[in-house]
Structure 1
Amino acid sequence: MKPRLVWSIGVGLLAVAWIVVAITPVEADAERPFAVAASVDEPATARTFTVTLSNMRLGAAATDPRGWTAEGTWLLVDIEAEARREEARVALRSAWLELDGIRYRASERPQSFLGTALAVGLPKSGTLAFELPGDIADAKGVIELATVTETRLDAIVTLPVDFGALERQQTVELAPTEWAR
């Protein structure tokens, strides 16, 4: 075989190998959760729960129904959710806001919807609260909700948030967690 042909075949095989490596998904891609896109005031259904998110508001302080107050930058989102098929172990355990590549968990400090047990056919309503850094003027983020803390290969509900479109208030108040109907 001529050396030019051998080199051409070798370069061709290296190019094919590079393409195979580039298109092969990494293990994390194979275990990524299934995202269910949500819209404001529209129900979104994941594997274990149905949720409706509404009334997003941004404030310089937050208060809850029992009188707790804290200053800072707070994003509050009203939520209504119910279990789909079973009630055992179904609760809103995972609520995150991803903002500029950083994930913020919903705060446990105020009395909020985080951790609320869900029932089939009996929706509950309340508020999720996210404490954020002060420099989020025109940022865009994504809220992710799930009933399990380990979301690999499970469904999560995602809702985009445009902070530039939110009206800023001095104080925002969390709604009490209660039966919706």
Structure 2
Amino acid sequence: MRRWLAWPMGAALLFGAWLVTLATPTADADEAPFVVPAALGEEARGRSITVTVTDVRLAEHVSAGAWAGEGVWLVVDLDAAAAREEDRTALGGASLAIGERTYRASERPPSFFQQPLLVGIPREGSLAFELPPDAVHEQAVLRLSGDWETRLDSLIELPLDLADLDPVDSVELTETGWARP
């Protein structure tokens, strides 16, 4: 083989190896969730739940019945229903990803978090996320699912720009109940 031909062939082999690494799935790809994109005000249908996020607000004070809390809160109002079966179907997975950090919906106030769902009969309520003050200027992704375990299941994702939200002084969480048509 000619000496000048070795360099282009070596470069072609490196390029081919690079393409193979791009096409090779990651180690956890065989268990990754199926992402269902969502938009504010539009219905997103996963395998076990159907969700419509109706409003997103930042507040310094949040209350729910007799409970009240101060701080930086992201309040998410939504309607949700079971998609296929009612047995053990709830809004069990609710998290907010901001960069490398993930925040779980607060269990302190009475909210829609982990509430049971019915097929075809939407319920409405609120989720509350307590955030650090520096998080309100970043991009976030709201993730909702029927269970915390989302391997090989659907995961509803709604991108949010927290910097675009106008903070309010106080928000009352929507009492969990039947959604209005």
TM-score by length of 2: 0.89
* CA distance in structure 1 between the aligned counterparts of 2:97 and 2:116, rounded to whole angstroms: 24
**1:82 partnered with 2:96:** no
Matches for 1:63-102 after TM superposition, within 5 Å: 63-65=63-65, 67-102=66-101
Question: How far off is 1:3 after superposition?
Answer: 6.2
SS in structure 1 at match of 2:32: coil
| Structure 2 residue runs without a partner (length 5+) | none
Q: Which residue of 2 aligns with 1:175?
A: 174
Runs of 4+ in 1 over 4 A off after TM superposition: 1-12
Matches for 1:31-42 after TM superposition, within 5 Å: 31-42=31-42
- For residues 5 and 85 of structure 1, do their structure 2 counterparts lie closer, same or farther at Cα, with a shift above 3 Å needed? same
Q: Which residue of 1 aligns with 2:163?
A: 164
**1:48 partnered with 2:48:** yes
Q: CA deviation digits over 1:144-165, x for unaligned, max 9? A: 0000211122111111111122
Q: Which residue of 2 aligns with 1:19?
A: 19
Q: CA deviation digits over 1:51-110, x for unaligned, max 9? A: 111121111121112x11111100001111111221001101100101122111111111
| Structure 1 residue runs without a partner (length 5+) | none
Query: What is the total number of aligned residue pairs between the two structures?
Result: 180
Question: How far off is 1:38 after superposition?
Answer: 1.3
Q: Which residue of 1 aligns with 2:120?
A: 121
Q: CA deviation digits over 1:91-136, x for unaligned, max 9? A: 0110010112211111111101110110112211110000001113
- For residues 14 and 173 of structure 1, do their structure 2 counterparts lie closer, same or farther at Cα, with a shift above 3 Å needed? same
Q: Which residue of 1 aligns with 2:151?
A: 152
SS in structure 2 at match of 1:135: helix
Question: How far off is 1:12 after superposition?
Answer: 4.2
Greater mean alpha carbon deviation, residues 131-140 or residues 1-10:
1-10
SS in structure 2 at match of 1:17: helix
Q: In percent, how many aligned pairs have the same letter?
A: 44
TM-score by length of 1: 0.89
